[in-house]
A and B are shown apart, each in its own frame.
Chain A
Amino acid sequence: MGLLSDPNRRRALISMLTRLNAPICVVCYMAGVAWFMGLAFEPFTLRTYMSENAMGSTMVEERFPAGERALATGREFAAHKKKVGGMPVDWLVKTMQSQGLEVFTQRFSRTLPFPDENKERYVVEGTNVYGILRAPRAPRTEALVLSAPCSPGNNNNQAVGLLLGLSQYFRNQIYWAKDIIFLVNEHDLIGMQAWLEGYHHTNTTGMDWSPLQGRGGSIQAALSLELSSDVITSLDLVLEGLNGQLPNLDLANLFYAFCQKIGVLCTIQGKLQRDDWDTASGYSHAVQTMMLMVLKQASGRPWGDHGLFLRYHIEAASIKGINSFRQYKTDATTIGRLLEGMFRKLNNLLERLHQSYFFYLMPSLSRFVSIGYYMPAFGLLAVILLLRALDLWVQLSALPSRTEDGIADIEQVSQTHLGVLSVLTPLVISHLTGVALYTLPIRSQEMAVEHFPVFETEAVVLTAIAIYTAGLALPHNTHRLVSGEGTEQGWRVLKLVAVLYLAVLLGCTALINFSLGFILALTLVPLAAFITPHVPKLLSALFMVLLSPGCTLFFSIFFFQELQETPVNLQEGWVLFLSVISQGILDHSLYGSLVYPLVALLVYPCWLLFWNILFWK
């Protein structure tokens, strides 16, 4: 309490913090970035280990024999799919029934707010088929899910084949203590959303679906399988779910353990792990893997069909089979064994997966960084905001005490009133702009299509960009409406409010989705720290626009493509940028992803406040 009550020591500390404010901020920023880059360095990371006792010590033996037969079933499925021109519901029902599963179907339909050009769909109608294998060994209170998507074209036929092969094999085993649900979902995530909402009796997005006729117990874990070739070279694990949520790390550990045991090459973000951490190329490989995870997580999109399970407190991951030009191939029997092994271990669970971490980043499949290690990187950036706020506070409280006669005091009082008013106006106006950015693009698409030669999707995206840019023109006339001119104190108060606002906003974002919070902090914090009305206008304006959330997204796309080793030029990048925006809006209205409303309603208005300060007159 000494620091809080001793005025002398307080004064010393505060004067040091205000005197050295700028250098401390620069050091903090660099330390934050360095810390983050250090996370990928192997000696600083932890090796993954299985925390869950129920999955650790128990040995299971994998015996799945029927890979070839599964592939044949897959081919049969493909033929029927082609014949029907969509999901072969009857055939699937018949096949599953003949295996002795309880089979049910669910119909669903959804009209998207605007056409999805990536997947070429607008009015979506489809059917999910699922079969339940009832647990013979236990009361049917818990369940596991294995799902495979029914995709258009020739994709994922082998996945459905393997799913059916596994269901037949599992049916003949007696050790199941949890119901196993085999789900074939149509229209990827939309079907999954319908099924999950039906299963849990919720309706968050206003979708039409028929209620489920049969249910298992509460779902403990789910795996989603994507497989498009008869043999594969490696399996890729996808963890990132809706809003950057990740499954318990034990699920990744389980996958890794079985890959090691069976001898299948396994990757995360499509990258193998390497042993040469002490070389530059090894380190950069780890950084690339981690950055890919950060970017994917920050996008807030579900990166596989498993992504929506996480919302219901179900640990889930997608497993993708990848067939590259590598010599060594793995056949379907081996993949089947791997899945069998994973399911048997999950079957042994006594309670939900909770022992291991939920907040982590993975620089390789065998290494992870937990929340305690990565949060300081964000903390160092957030401290800058607090230091700036403290500095502003000291400046503000120093101002009135300089004038001590009564007349000056009264002026001060009236100034504070104006200060409050001149803070409130920009706050309200920038938030209204945010609300416009959030609501108008979808609302006004019809009007835009009528008046301009564009398609609906383009209309939505371009309206969003137009509103975003129009927001920049606002500050020139916001506070003049209220008071003739802004005061020196006025912008300080506004900046204090804006800096604290940004700090709280980024803090909350980083807790829910670390990657998003960190990327936003990386770009917004320097801007928040240095902006005043007295810096060179044009240069700073350019700098601010470059660091605005929209441009951050634009750069992230290039960076992401670069990391994926599919670099794009400016033109392609722009097209991709447009499609990413439309996907973001669609993800919000279809699955309830929070990134678009977060950016439109909170981050963008906050950025506008700083823009306002720059043009304070």
Chain B
Amino acid sequence: MAAPLTLLLVVAVTIRAALFRSSLADLIAERVEVVSPLNAWKRVVEGLALLDLGISPYSGDVFHETPLIIYLFHFLVDYAEITFMIADGITAVALYIAVKEYNKQVFRKQKYALEADRYPLDCLELIRSPKEMYYIPLKVAMFYLLNPFTILSCVAKSTCGLNNAVIALFILCTIKGSALLSAIFLALATYQSVYPLTLFAPALLYLLQRLYIPVNIRRPSFWWYTLQYAFMYLGSLFVIICLSFFLLGTWDFLPSVYGFILSVPDLTPNIGLFWYFFAEMFEHFRLFFLCVFQINVFFYTIPLSIKLKEHPVFLIFMQLAVISIFKSYPTVGDIALYLAFLPVWSHLYRFLRNVFLVSCVLLACSALFPVLWHLWIYAGSANSNFYYAITLLFNVAQILLVSDYFYAYLRREYHLTHGLYLKRKDGSEATLVLK
């Protein structure tokens, strides 16, 4: 399996390198769908220039990246293109290994369950065969590397690619069961963009599951482990933030990065839901709706963790999707990360209901974004409502996609315990309805 992966990496790097050399690179780097005020390369360069002049990069309102990133590029600025390509490569390989490991575990679990005769007889169709699972890791890597969204994001040198790499490494370490590394990478991801904070719950659930510690609030072992993991996480977060402070010598970055993410002062249009609302809103409602919108991102953690506590990896996928839909400055790079997980759930295909609708809408919206942007900004004949309508549709499609997968996952689990062909009490065939 190493050969196809290498080939894939070579192809991916070739495409990116060709695009870096073409005239399209400048165009892509300006697209609001691809770069946000947080991760635009232009802003990183500005921050670097200020740093070189001995001024705090956070003076002025341009640079919003974290200090570690700016120090990373302080050394790597000449090799930026290679750095971004490597970041994409790391993400793909990490996801590849992680998914391979995860599939092994899934298969092992399934084997035990089969041996224990835990599945009803009529759901043999739902049992996954090693043959169909064999290519899934490769497909995951392919979905990430060859996804046009990832390519665009990489060519635009959006630092989103680096965040994705950190999150992918976090997933890898979690699935491999290394609590310390998992906590460190989670802390790094949180440090980068706050929102991955919600991945704490699935990681903890996974590690607990791996150590056969039941999730039970009356058990001291549960609390002890939770405390350990939380300590590792908070400790590394603390170390990283202090490190940033010692690198820069000021606390400027806290309001400039986290304040910027949470209070959403920059209302440049993007593919998210924030900008239009906050541009239209009366000023005195701003704080209230800011809280509503931000709580919205974090809130889903609780019900999802309760519902999916047996399936932490699926929970990670759900959380990534929720973050990339509801975060304050989303870009297509964020979407690419959770889309890469879709092959892992390919066995849910038979339970999906809106795949056709959702993929049509996503495709159409991706094509309409630049068209409506052109009409609004360059031709001046359309206005922001046109663009926002497409943004809204795009996000609705994403939400439908995610909820569809959620429903399909739960339904498969339900069938695995209750049998595939459900009967009503009177013996007629029953159908499951989501209300």
Interface residues of A (CB under 8 A from B): 4-8, 10, 245-246, 310-311, 313, 352, 354, 358-359, 386, 389-390, 393, 413, 500, 503-505, 507-508, 511-512
Contact = CB atoms under 8 A, between A and B. Distances in A.
21 contacts: A5-B353, A6-B433, A7-B432, A7-B433, A8-B431, A245-B381, A311-B379, A313-B378, A313-B379, A313-B380, A358-B382, A390-B356, A413-B132, A500-B360, A503-B364, A504-B364, A504-B367, A507-B367, A508-B368, A508-B371, A512-B375
Given A358-B380, A358-B382, A508-B367, A7 B360 contact: no
A507 B381 contact: no
Contacts of B382: 358, 511
B360 A389 contact: yes
Interface residues of B, number: 24
Interface of B: 132, 353-354, 356, 360, 363-364, 367-368, 371-372, 374-375, 378-382, 400, 431-435
Nearest to B368: A508
A393 B355 CA distance: 10
B367 A5 contact: no
| Listed residue (B379, B400, B431) with the most chain A CB atoms within 10 angstroms of its CB | B379
Contacts of A352: 380
A4 B381 contact: no
Given A313-B380, A358-B382, 18 more contacts: A4-B353, A5-B353, A7-B353, A7-B433, A245-B379, A310-B379, A358-B381, A389-B360, A390-B356, A393-B356, A413-B132, A500-B360, A500-B363, A503-B364, A505-B367, A507-B367, A508-B371, A512-B374
A245 B374 CA distance: 12
Contact of B372 (A10, A311, A511): A511
Contacts of A245: 379, 381
A310 B381 CA distance: 10
Nearest to B365: A504
B77 to A, nearest CB: 29
Contact of A386 (B360, B375, B380): B360
A5 B380 CA distance: 40
A361 to B, nearest CB: 14
A504 B354 CA distance: 19
Contacts of B374: 512
A481 to B, nearest CB: 20
A184 B371 CA distance: 34
Contact of A5 (B360, B371, B381, B435): B435
A52 to B, nearest CB: 15
Given A358-B382, A500-B363, A504-B363, A5 B372 contact: no
Per CB-CB distance, the 4 closest pairs between chain A and chain B, nearest first, are A358-B381, A5-B434, A313-B380, A508-B371
Contacts of B368: 507-508, 511
B435 A511 contact: no
Contacts of A512: 371, 374-375, 379
Contacts of B432: 7
Contacts of B431: 7-8
Contacts of B435: 5
B125 to A, nearest CB: 8
Contacts of A354: 380
A287 B120 CA distance: 69
Contacts of B378: 311, 313
Contacts of B360: 386, 389, 500
B347 to A, nearest CB: 13
A511 B372 CA distance: 8
Contacts of B380: 313, 352, 354, 358
B369 to A, nearest CB: 10
B356 A10 contact: no
A117 to B, nearest CB: 31
Nearest to B433: A6
A362 B267 CA distance: 37
B375 A4 contact: no
Nearest to B372: A511
A526 B360 CA distance: 21
B353 A359 contact: no
B351 to A, nearest CB: 11
A438 to B, nearest CB: 16
Contacts of B353: 4-5, 7, 10
Contact of B371 (A310, A359, A393, A511): A511
A352 B360 CA distance: 37
A336 to B, nearest CB: 30
Contacts of A10: 353
A5 B433 contact: yes
A5 B434 CA distance: 6
Contacts of A500: 360, 363
B115 to A, nearest CB: 21
Contacts of B367: 504-505, 507-508
Contacts of A504: 363-364, 367
A211 B120 CA distance: 81
B139 to A, nearest CB: 12
A311 B435 CA distance: 50
Given A6-B433, A358-B380, A393-B356, A507 B375 contact: no
A503 B382 CA distance: 21
Contacts of B132: 413
A7 B353 CA distance: 9
Nearest to B407: A5
Contacts of A389: 356, 360
Nearest to A496: B356
A62 to B, nearest CB: 30
A386 B367 CA distance: 16
A603 B431 CA distance: 44
B375 A511 contact: yes
| Listed residue (A5, A7, A8, A500) with the most chain B CB atoms within 10 angstroms of its CB | A5
Nearest to A353: B380
Nearest to B404: A4
A386 B375 CA distance: 24
A8 B182 CA distance: 45
Contacts of A4: 353-354, 400
Nearest to B357: A4
B134 to A, nearest CB: 12
B124 to A, nearest CB: 10
A389 B355 CA distance: 13
Nearest to A313: B380
A508 B368 CA distance: 6
Contacts of B381: 245-246, 358-359
A98 B417 CA distance: 95
Contacts of B379: 245, 310-311, 313, 358, 512
A245 B381 CA distance: 8
| Listed residue (B356, B372, B380, B435) with the most chain A CB atoms within 10 angstroms of its CB | B380
Contacts of A310: 379
Contacts of A311: 378-379
Contacts of A413: 132
A6 B353 CA distance: 10
A505 B132 CA distance: 35
B126 to A, nearest CB: 13
Contacts of B363: 500, 504
B229 to A, nearest CB: 37
A100 B434 CA distance: 79
B383 to A, nearest CB: 9
B112 to A, nearest CB: 23
A317 to B, nearest CB: 15
A76 to B, nearest CB: 40
Nearest to A10: B353
A6 B132 CA distance: 30
A313 B381 CA distance: 9
A12 to B, nearest CB: 13
Contacts of A393: 356
Nearest to B364: A504
Contacts of A358: 379-382
A7 B430 CA distance: 11
A5 B431 CA distance: 11
A311 B434 CA distance: 50
